[in-house]
Structure 1
């Protein structure tokens, strides 16, 4: 009799264990896809454009999640890079509707945060998370779709320029920038004093030793070498620094800056010198100006000069249109070349 009871107990325990296991499995499967995304479908995508940031980048609809009681449901769109299995999901937007439109700018930011490469199509996995109540309880998830996104970047690619001028520390080194994404014609203005090199960023955008770096090829004739053993050298001064990582050529040109034009004491023939401020990294001067036009130029010559910004890209243009002041007076004149390819100026009446 005891053996029969034991057998029945064992069968009951095994059956109960199996039932629990089945319930857990079913619950896991239910949580993985409690409701469905209706649109878009996997494989659809978008090419984002920086010129239309408010255009729709993603329009979604999904089934409503039924919790069995009349309660308000909050839906959160979550995204992650394809293959990352939502190990660090990004919350894109929340709503109480079962539809949403996300702007191109917002989708681009999320795509970049997820690790997609600018101007290259990449997969973005998307799911909808539903919750109820103010505490966000009863978490449920939709199925997952893959949305093909080609993001953009408005940041210019850069190289760090570590060297004797700043303690050979790439993370804090000044930068030079290319003219556009995908271009390799880097330029910037830097105070140099001794040896230096160029360091490229790693895939995450960090500048450190161990990344690709460039030095002189040993001929000291303006030729770069990847992982070059020779430092590039410069005597103390302020330089226009250019490097091309495709042609493997570089130039460093010493510059001193001034203001020139009908509004200046020297007219259009002689620059009025500005003084470099090592603390602000700007060229500055208190100058008596007349009402009229002016420009900035280097080395009291016209080979390097900066004027207005007709293309409205946020930077003064080489050989750009003349600038002007409307009234005579003493002005605090500032030329800021510290941000590569984002050159700016100000003239403030004192």
Structure 2
């Protein structure tokens, strides 16, 4: 009798597994998934120049990869040397840049592409081949066929110049105006906060004086030498300001470090933005906190974030999962200081510093 019961148990188990497969649907790991067509690049021969390195240099595009189930697909671009894409270690040294979910292209500025290819080992001012492929990920990864481009990188010049940004936000005092640091030849970058109620106008000055300055030209984005027309910011908030004296263009991008965690109102979903003190080059906020966790992130996103590897110190670490513990509720002054001279080409530093002081 027992052997018949055992047979019925095995048969029932097989029927259960078959039914489960039908109800759960087809797993993507059991299906063949491929790129339906080749990937494309905006140019197959690129000569990079430092004076226009903040401009787009390469656009990589690819077709949509369809998996058997409906869910977001994450794409990434991989760059490698032709000598490193074969054998047991194939693509092991590739530089991988995440493009995002359900996106079908990724653009790279000259500075970004120059860093990628020099990190791969390309020599300045020498044309060399670079291989590109696309990675598609849902529950498993597949790859496009690779394509090859030829890139000539440049040798990044060490630059230390500054220009200055007097405006309504600080009373038009050029002596205490925010400084924009030269990050590439003729390209300047800095940070500032426009307080609520302050006027939006400003100028860009060569020195801490009015001997030479730039104002708006034909449009607000155009820089015109000695123009009496003010540049204007879009409204209150913190910005990354870039000015290109090679192209006579400037831009203001919303940009703010903030505190995040259970000690502040937004929890882990929404950061509380900090304001930038351009004279001390420090991000600051004075606010009420409750008991809970606190760490720092950029632009209300987890893409760039810092947490303390050792919460007993004021040093915070890039992409660290830890947080500070706020032991009691009250009014706190929180500061955050980071050396981010040129995030585009150098990346964000591995450490920054902070203070958390109860008032």
TM-score after normalising by structure 1: 0.40
> Which of structures 1 and 2 has the bigger CA Rg?
1
TM-score after normalising by structure 2: 0.39
